[in-house]
Amino acid sequence: MLKSWAIPKEPPTDAGVKRLAVQTEDHPVDYIYFEGVIPEGGYGAGAVSVWDKGQFDLESREEGKIVFHLRGQRITGRYALIHTRGNQWIFFKTK
């Protein structure tokens, strides 16, 4: 399964810039390259695009906090997801 977060604004490339990340439902691994339009009325309706491709290395995962290194084509570096409430998280590049 793929863990997924929707980030309404572009992911931050500078340390300290925080973005809202909304956790979505888990997806089968087969969806990793899905791009297209989900029809209105369907879960996640709207345009879906792959913003970046690459690899990640998990540094740590504990209740409400995930720290990892991204090695993508568009963004690289050490990032964190901090759970705030419900399905909302804060996503940022660490210093």
Give the pLDDT score at 63: 96
Going by the DSSP 8-state scheme, the letter that residue 15 receives in this structure is B
pLDDT per residue as tens digits for the range 7-60: 888 899 999 899 999 998 888 888 888 899 989 987 778 888 888 889 999 999
Give the pLDDT score at 67: 98
- How many residues in total does the chain contain? 95
pLDDT per residue as tens digits for the range 69-93: 999 999 999 999 999 999 999 999 9
Global pTM reads 0.83
Instruction: Write out the DSSP string of 18-79.
Output: EEEEEE---B-GGGGG--EEEPTTSTT-EEE-----EEEEEEEEETTEEEEEEEESS-EEEE
